[in-house]
Structure 1
Amino acid sequence: MVSSTFKTRPLAAAAVLLGVAQVALAHEHHMDHIEEGHAISDDPIDSILWIHILIQTLAWGVLFPTGMVLGIIRSKWHVYVQTTGTVLAVVGYFLGHKHKGRQFAPNIHSKFVPTVMLLLILQVAMGIYLKLHLERGMHGKVRKVVVKAHGVVGKLMPVVTWVQFLFGGITAMGFCRGDHTGQCLAHFIMGSAFIGYGIVLTILLLVGQYWIKRTGRSQEFFDSLVIAAWGCVNTFTEHRWGGPWVANDLQHTSMGIIWWCAGLVGIWLSRKRDGRPKRNLIPGIVILLTGYAMSAHPQHLPLSTMVHTVFGYTLMAAGAARIIEIAFVLRDRNCISEDGTDPNSFQYLTPFLLYASGFLFMGATEEQMEILSEANVTHVSYVLILYSIAFLLFLFVNMLLHLYAVNTWTTNKSDAEAPRANGHMVNGHTRTNSGLRDAQEFELAGLISDDEDDESPVESKPRRPLPAQP
């Protein structure tokens, strides 16, 4: 049974969120200090707005992703972390509307707020419903749908959060308006794609080998499929057909062409003659060639040229590292260890370089380069800062995956001197295959089943055995 205290707490949170949604629609923007033709006023960002930024970063960027992983591993802390994040998100929301100082014209960041808060309200409402354990009659069928929807929205939240964070940064600086919109979209979309690809590679490297094996496809099949699709889009969107070819149109379009051409080859080479999956080097080659093209991308400012050059070199390094990993480290295998839980240290290089490439590309828009150039900021200092941010995100993703992995794999310390499990030992202790769940699952069965105590620790949850690895 769920205590009445526990029931009223989320209900109160839901009531607050409903009030937030109404305020979001009625909020007025003060623009009396904004000069005509500008997106922001010349006032500095005040302390209240800085607190808003910090609180929302903590809530949406740290607590909610952590709570999502805690939900996947069926931890009792999932509800508490998500509740804390929700409270902070509401507080941060009101601070964002009560700040003084810099004023902003109507912008995408404020227009996207109702969507973000609606998702949060929906997630909280579904969580409350699941915690009430209503299973009789029609609720039995509704419950299954809500479990799936709760998982889908939970995994969608980090993506929505990333987009809103980017909108916030763009709005704070008054970027990406007028003639700058197109190149701004290209930089932020492509940069986010590189970071997203790096995160996916990190997940597959650390906890996703079983999922890849279960699909019956090689990882390069999925990589090449995305590359081919993205190339088709770029081929027909980088140039305004019917108009003159200007600036870098031809280079952008040719990059799209090589992406879909190489992607088709990668798809074809991803299977052996007998239909079994096979590794190939095509995605790594595409990344390397893209880096080469971007390193020689002509720019108007010397600072922009140098940043784009470093971005290109970083992307080339990511492609080269991927080729070396598959051909020489793995030798066409899926993983080094038999159970896929102990990657080679070299395998971390490609994902990190993709993180760094993404931040470098997002940080190289025309308006950013103009501001930094006027402030006499050297490309070396700027690149080091962007690499530092990449390291922090890489650390956070690895921490979340570690939290997931240590609660889905068990290490029996009492068996340290026992024979090796499947001939493999980790850190001197036998690593038993006792339940690595599919990294794509997000069903909070542990939080919503009647046969489980709400306060039971993670360690008491039953774990499904893994099939033996080849």
Structure 2
Amino acid sequence: MPKLSTLPTFLSALVLTAVVVSAHEHHDELSEEEATAPVDTILWIHMGLQALVWGILFPVGMVLGITRSRWHVPLQSAGFALTIAGIVLGHSHKGRQFLPSAHGVFANVLIILTGWAMSQHAQALEISTKVHTTFGCTLMLAGFSRIVEICFVPSKYSDASNRDDQSDNTLAESTPGYSSSDDGKMAAARAFRHLPPILLVASGILLMSATDEALDYVHVNGMDHVTYLLIMFSLAFALYTLILTLIRLFSTTGRNAQSFSTTGNNIELASPRSPSKWYAPVPRDDTTTHVLGPDEDD
């Protein structure tokens, strides 16, 4: 509750905000010209700016905040400033206008359906049926690949021994606990683990892009379902790349940043700030040099 001394200021700010909101132009009814007008440059900048801020800057800033990086505050401050600029641009655009429902007053509630039900769900348009079928098959493939990963893909091979030369942080020639063919299996297992999450991301993108409005727009513009699905899968790969980048950023910044330097062979090198506990030069003892020549008699 504001104090008595600040009450007039608070009421003045509240009235000014109400005046600004009431003065904003709303479109309860649109003419055909307003609904089909081209999107102007300001609106394109508004959409691109909001996508950049909410899709990249804020997630990266969140990760930097978790790792307590010094770049967290500047990045989030820039994100808030760009958000305010995007809101101003959103209220300043010309050209095409939108009904209040187009902005989404309430968040849409997504109904979770199984892959089989979605793949067999009949639609009014053929392209809609194709997209829903692909979504269902992708979701089923994601579940099947996850079952295969749990049942048949090993998480890690155990070493045969626990000796010092088995450490990744030593210069000694290590004796592998498994054959070279197992190295290929581990590489294949690491690659296979990316399949379930990328399929789940693709399923989510396909689900959100399979609305009646979006598919009707695609159908009116004459785009076939293959082109539309390839675009959605490309967006899924881009989103998955962003997710992996954020995970990598979490493990390498702030308090999670490594305090030592490494080479390409994962050999730790000593640094002035944090000497390595695994490797240090061995002091060289003085050795007696034998000189060839006649032996001296005692």
> What TM-score results when the alignment is normalised by the length of structure 1?
0.43
Q: Is 2:214 the partner of 1:390?
A: no
Q: Is 2:214 the partner of 1:368?
A: yes
Equivalent position amino acid for 1:400 in 2? L
1:32, 1:22 → 2: CA distance? Answer: 22
C-alpha distance 362-27 of structure 1, shift in aligned 2 (>3 A): farther
2:157, 2:58 → 1: CA distance? Answer: 32
SS at match of 2:193: helix
Aligned residues of 1:33 and 1:103 also touching (Cα < 8 A) = no
Q: Is 2:17 the partner of 1:22?
A: yes
- The Cα shift of 1:104 comes to 1.9
1:29, 1:104 → 2: CA distance? Answer: 11
SS at match of 1:79: helix
Percent identity among equivalent residues? 42
C-alpha distance 389-100 of structure 1, shift in aligned 2 (>3 A): same
1:297 to 121, 128, 136: 121
| Larger Rg over CA atoms | 2
Q: Is 2:156 the partner of 1:336?
A: yes
1:30, 1:337 → 2: CA distance? Answer: 63
2:118, 2:24 → 1: CA distance? Answer: 42
Q: 2:146: which partner in 1?
A: 322
Q: 1:377: which partner in 2?
A: 223
Q: 1:67: which partner in 2?
A: 61
Q: 2:36: which partner in 1?
A: 42
Q: Is 2:89 the partner of 1:89?
A: no
Q: Is 2:219 the partner of 1:399?
A: no
Aligned residues of 2:46 and 2:86 also touching (Cα < 8 A) = yes
Aligned residues of 2:28 and 2:100 also touching (Cα < 8 A) = no
Gaps of 5+ in 1: 1-17, 113-162, 164-184, 194-254, 256-289, 417-426, 432-459, 461-470
2:28, 2:134 → 1: CA distance? Answer: 41
Which structure has the highest helix share of the two?
1
Q: Is 2:258 the partner of 1:410?
A: yes
C-alpha distance 86-93 of structure 1, shift in aligned 2 (>3 A): same
Aligned residues of 2:119 and 2:136 also touching (Cα < 8 A) = yes
**CA RMSD, Structure 1 to Structure 2 (Å):** 3.3
Gaps of 5+ in 2: 1-12, 159-186, 274-298
- The Cα shift of 1:406 comes to 1.8
> What TM-score results when the alignment is normalised by the length of structure 2?
0.66
* CA offset digits 1:69-126 (Å, max 9, x no partner): 11111111111111111111111111100111111222373757xxxxxxxxxxxxxx
2:132, 2:195 → 1: CA distance? Answer: 20
C-alpha distance 309-356 of structure 1, shift in aligned 2 (>3 A): same
- The Cα shift of 1:428 comes to 3.2
C-alpha distance 411-75 of structure 1, shift in aligned 2 (>3 A): closer
Aligned residues of 2:29 and 2:99 also touching (Cα < 8 A) = no
Alignment of 1:182-221 (within 5 A): 185=108, 189-190=110-111
2:28, 2:63 → 1: CA distance? Answer: 44
2:258, 2:37 → 1: CA distance? Answer: 55
Equivalent position amino acid for 1:367 in 2? E
SS at match of 2:31: coil
C-alpha distance 82-354 of structure 1, shift in aligned 2 (>3 A): same
- The Cα shift of 1:352 comes to 0.7
Aligned residues of 1:63 and 1:81 also touching (Cα < 8 A) = yes
- The Cα shift of 1:30 comes to 4.3
* CA offset digits 1:291-323 (Å, max 9, x no partner): 222211112211111111111111111011101
Alignment of 1:136-175 (within 5 A): none
* CA offset digits 1:392-440 (Å, max 9, x no partner): 11111110110001232638446x7xxxxxxxxxx73269xxxxxxxxx
Q: Is 2:265 the partner of 1:428?
A: yes
1:68, 1:337 → 2: CA distance? Answer: 34
SS at match of 1:344: helix
Equivalent position amino acid for 2:137 in 1? Y
1:412, 1:393 → 2: CA distance? Answer: 31
2:238, 2:60 → 1: CA distance? Answer: 15
2:94, 2:194 → 1: CA distance? Answer: 44
2:231, 2:102 → 1: CA distance? Answer: 26
* CA offset digits 1:207-242 (Å, max 9, x no partner): xxxxxxxxxxxxxxxxxxxxxxxxxxxxxxxxxxxx
Number of positions where the alignment pairs a residue of Structure 1 with one of Structure 2 = 225
SS at match of 1:297: coil
1:321, 1:32 → 2: CA distance? Answer: 48
